[in-house]
Amino acid sequence: MRRVLFPALLAATALLLTACPQTPPPPPPPPTACTPQATGYSVQGTQVYTLTQNQGIGDFSAPHVPGELLVLPGGLSPQVITSRVSGVEVRSYLPGGLLHLRVTPGQEREKAQELLQAGAHYVQPNYLYRPLRVPTDPLYVNHQKDYLDLIGLAAAWDAYTGDPQLVIAVVDTGYQNHADMTDTSRWYLPSGQILDLADNDQDPWDDTPDAKANNPFSHGLAVASVLGADTNNSLGMAGVTWAGKVVPLKVAHSADGSITTTTVAQAVQKAVALGAKVINLSLGAPTFDQVLENALVAARNQNVVLVAAAGNDGVDGILYPARSPAVIAVGSVDTNLSKSTFSNCGPELDLVAPGRSILVLLPNNGYGTASGTSFASPMVAGVAALYIGKYHQVKGAWPSADQVYQCLIGTAQDLGPSGHDTGYGFGLVRADRVMTDTTYCFP
């Protein structure tokens, strides 16, 4: 049996305590914390991924970028729109015929109504997204075995450790080099490509405020390390996958760390263009996003597997994009297999994975722990990548996104109320079952 070696783990433990800020235990869950409820959904259920075309206006109560609108013109030319509505300027043209407009901050809803009256089909804000983590969780760890064994990774690694050519996209705050995850080993930085979608340049280095703080934390590095840290190299931590190209697509603006609809949608499109088979989105917003949905559905229809974090508010309501039907929504469990108090509930939840006190890479070659559905999501994304690579090796063809979904949910370990429920979805992802199942995975 091949296993990850940890000869430096004891030494690394001291580093964990010095490289990360020490924080008090998390507060108790709020009185409105969600309780898992059975949904009656079946593993054999058919998922339909059709492009919706909403009409009207989006949700202007949700966080959004001041002074920006995203418009489906409905046959109107940009010239006609700007002639009919004063104070509107075309900022950029987006795929699918969408327009990115600039308006006076504070007049977003007013101008949206005027655009509809002028003949536009649909108008929404440029929504703001946030990386999903719970910063109050403790930052110490002894090793990863306790939670990796829950999803059967050691047994899965006996069967397969990953396809070196498989591209996995991490749509997040960017990347940083680390001794345990270098740009000559796991990071994939294709030359000549815009990988920083927020600042429109080729360098996706995470230089956001959190990554430059006194106790720096790079959300993108931490998330990517869960699925792709160098493994079996006698150093530090193990990633879910041992091989593959992890492409960091930076969607957070360097100046303030803000993440918007436009940057995330463009990153999804870029990931597809770069040949990604799996896209991880450990970020979320509270409202449905028509513009991003278009990009997600287009990616899913090209057999790209999309995985996203459910949210860390501990309440009913899966965040978007996790609640999109085109996306695998992932919640968090603790090592005792109970739902993490911070993990959101909802009928759109598909799977759960360990998400509390997960070992991650920190800037400046540090190690630490982090908690949240942000870190459960890349575990599922990593297992999906292992399955895709193994399927290709065995069958000589790539599995469809629907095949990947059916494999993961069909082999999940049922937790909570019997069958699918709002707190655990179809259950705990099981990498060991994925590698051997002949009903859902390798029929």
Active site (catalytic) residues:
172, 219, 374
Any residues with CB less than 8 A from the CB of 162 and at least 6 apart, and which? 241, 242, 243, 244, 385, 386, 389
Element (H, E) at 421: none
CA 396 to chain CA centroid, Å, is 28
Q: Exposed (0-12), middle (13-18) or buried (19+): which is 44, by Cβ within 10 Å?
A: exposed
Helix, strand and coil percent figures for the chain, each rounded to 5: 30, 20, 50
Q: Where are the alpha helices (DSSP H) in 92-198?
A: 108-117, 145-148, 153-159
Contact 310, 322 (CB under 8 A): yes
Strands 283-284 and 122-131: antiparallel
- Distances, alpha carbon 223 to alpha carbons 76, 146, 217, 305, 324, in Å: 42, 19, 11, 17, 21
Distance separating alpha carbons of residues 361 and 220, to the nearest angstrom: 10
Q: Is the peptide bond before 321 cis (omega within 30 degrees of 0)?
A: yes
C-alpha radius of gyration, the chain, whole number = 21
Distance separating alpha carbons of residues 306 and 283, to the nearest angstrom: 12
Q: Exposed (0-12), middle (13-18) or buried (19+): which is 290, by Cβ within 10 Å?
A: buried
Vertex 420: Cα angle to 418 and 426 (nearest 5): 105
- What do you get for the CA distance between the two ends of the chain, in Å? 25
| 255: amino acid identity, one letter | A
Contact 282, 311 (CB under 8 A): no
